[in-house]
Amino acid sequence: MTSAPKSRNQRTQAVTLTNLQQRVLTALVLGPVVLLLVALGDWWFFSLAVGLSVIAALEFANLGQHRNIHVSPLLSAASVVAVITAASQNGVYLVIPLFILTFVLTILWAFARRMTQHTALIEGLMTIAAPAYIGLPTALLVLIRNAPDGLLWLLLVLVLTWGTDIFAYFGGRLWGKTKLAPRISPKKTVEGALAGYLGGAGLGALLLTLNGQLEIGTAIIVLIGPVAAILGDLVESALKRAFNVKDSHLSHLNLFPGHGGVLDRTDSMILVACFCYFCFRLLGIV
């Protein structure tokens, strides 16, 4: 006796369950590895940051292919590594020259391929967008980790980001009804964002309380950090929509099954890293 064919809702639930299982398994396997390298710091964390940023740069370059913008993956990745290395080793004065050099090399490469001036300009801007969007925030994370008590402050960045993402995901699945930004990301909901905000802020406050660091200045970081995480997620969703892609991972390299690519996994952290770093500077932490 054959069973009745599954309905569309049943098939959707099965796919969703599989995706959730992938997310949980990925987090259980890779989460401890990331936290170990974060705890070790020094070149261990630097290598992790650079390695993930190179993959993110390749993903970013690949996004352009969907709009016929041909960015050199090698040049894009090299510029990201150069910016991270320079900025994180107190060579901030080298960042602007590196941007200019990357832009000029991209223009020359485009002209060598007999591209028009307009195409060369677009490719140049797309190429330097990678070190700006990926390289600089990553360098800030390295600077935070290298600061006194850097482990605590980097953990705060991670907790604000991951806490917001995780609670937003499950909050949206459980209670999500009102679309947050349907034109940018149809699946994100106001209820999910609110759950994410409360989760990220709550975990951040808990971390600081346990370490005796919850003061007015750091409390402001905890209260605003989850907002930065939500906005960072929306920015990357807008990029994917602009380039007409579902997720950013490379077809031959999917490090985070169920999560998308490196850009998908770290999008929220980009704005959180920038926000926290400048707050830390104001507070004299870094």
| Amino acid 257: pLDDT | 61
| 76 and 196, same domain (yes or no) | no
User: Which region among 54-58, 222-226, 270-274 has the lowest average model confidence (pLDDT)?
Assistant: 54-58
For the chain, the average pLDDT equals: 87
Range of the domain at 81: 43-146
The total number of structural domains that make up the chain: 2
**Are 220 and 268 in a shared domain?**
yes
Are 55 and 85 within one domain? yes
Domain boundary among 146, 180, 213: 146
Q: Are residues 172 and 114 in the same domain?
A: no
Q: Does some domain include residue 201?
A: yes
Evaluate if residue 14 carries a pLDDT over 50.
no
Residue pLDDT, tens place only, 101-144: 999 999 999 999 888 999 999 999 999 999 999 999 999 999 99
pTM summary value: 0.88
Structural domain ending residue among the three candidates 146, 164, 189: 146
Asked, for residue 72, whether it belongs to a domain, the answer is: yes
Higher pLDDT pick, 193 / 27: 193
Do 139 and 217 lie in a common domain? no
Q: What is the dihedral of CA 274, 279, 284, 286, to 10 degrees?
A: -20
pLDDT for residue 16 is more than 80:
no
Domain shared by 190 and 130, yes or no? no
In a shared domain, residues 154 and 283: yes
